[in-house]
Amino acid sequence: MRARRPGGHRQLAPRRQGCPGRGVPQRVRRPTTGQSAVEGCHRYPPGGSQLWRRRAPKCIRIHGRTPDDRHPRASDQTGCGRHHSTVTEPPALDGLLVVDKPAGPTSHDIVAIARRALRIRKIGHLGTLDPMASGVLPLVVGRATRLATLFTGARKQYEAVIRLGLVTDSYDITGSVVGGSDADGATLPRTARPTDDEIRRTAIGFTGSHPQRPPPVSAKKVGGVRAYKLARRNAPVELAPVTVTIDTLSILAIDGMRLRCRLVCSSGFYVRSLAHDLGERLGCGACLETLRRERHGPFGLEDVVTLTALVEQGATASTRVVPMDRLARDLPQVVVTAAGARRTAHGHPLGQGDCAPGTEPPTWVFSGRLRIVDEGGRLLAIAEPGADRLLHPKIVLV
């Protein structure tokens, strides 16, 4: 049994009007406004007091409206008295930008600079160019990144200077010298060095297809690890040879122990390995001194924008972006109707009935990839023919 408090237990406060409950104070409810929140639904008789609320603020859109919105808001229509301000965003930028990469930065550094300059995150390059190399570096922007696979096997053209008499661990002039006729302590007499005719004949002998071993300092992976990371740890790197092709190789000049040449080669070809292999065949050793890429597929030095101009112009450099409609022009083209364009956007296969009138190909027989465009010439997709005699969109761009 609870003991009695001295002086008795605490008494509850008397009830106050408007506070039903054992003396516990409660909030007095504000009287209703007398009007319904929804116009036309008169929950209360008309003529009540005015609403106790302020007017809603003006609507400010987070994303700007594009001209091709299918369902404009009622407030944007003629006759509406309200005005809504909009926060505009930069227009979508899709295409290809060819940058003249200087020697020094990596290809990823150029991508990062382009992202900041154009204020676009979705940018990538079509093929790594060594830090010591310069020249054509195509960047795909926006939805054009989906077309990167179309250019992975493109031919490339280089101008290179090969330094005879030096062998480095990276096969280029930036590496550590590990041998060669001109290296410290070399025992090869000067009279045993190759003549110009020997250099010319041996270099041209690399023309055609042959196996090539990539340099130990390269982006190739060995057991899931980049080869250059293993080389930095002084770990042994053994890369398997890869079959490559040199279409043409021309000797531009021979100046003592320096050979300047121009070559057109297949994708995956290492000019550093060419220099190293040339030095081994000549017996004096060699490494790559300078390298400039003059062409990547259909894009050459005449299409480039310098890195300085890209940084200075910023977003205005977007005028140098090649639009997607001008890409992959070497592929056959099929023009589709509006209904065919909708089917293409959903990835549905296309038949002859989807072709625009008067643009049907003479035969519905295709091999390889082809472009799907609408009647306005806009590139919609890259398609491939199937065994069902239908065109199947593989890369949808809309």
Q: Which of 130, 172, 182, 303 is catalytic?
A: 130
Q: In whole angstroms, give the CA distance from residue 70 to residue 87.
A: 19
User: How do strand 123-125 and strand 322-323 relate by DSSP bridges?
Assistant: unpaired
- What is the C-alpha separation between 331 and 382, in angstroms, rounded? 9
**Token pair for 34:** 């007398």
Contact 272, 170 (CB under 8 A): yes
Residues 115 and 99 sit within 8 Å (Cβ to Cβ): no
* Cα 214–chain centre separation: 25
- Crossing angle for the helix pair 271-282 and 196-204, to the nearest 10 degrees: 130
- The Cα–Cα gap between 180 and 234 comes to 21
H helices, E strands: number in the chain: 6, 19
What is d(CA 210, CA 243) in angstroms, rounded to the nearest whole number?
A: 5
Calpha distance 167→148 (Å, rounded):
35
Active-site annotation holds for 130: yes
- The residue length of the chain stands at 398
- DSSP secondary structure string, 347-378? T--B-GGGBPTT---SSS---S-EEEE-TT--
Q: How many angstroms separate the CA atoms of 284 and 289, rounded?
A: 15
Which residues belong to the active site?
Answer: 130
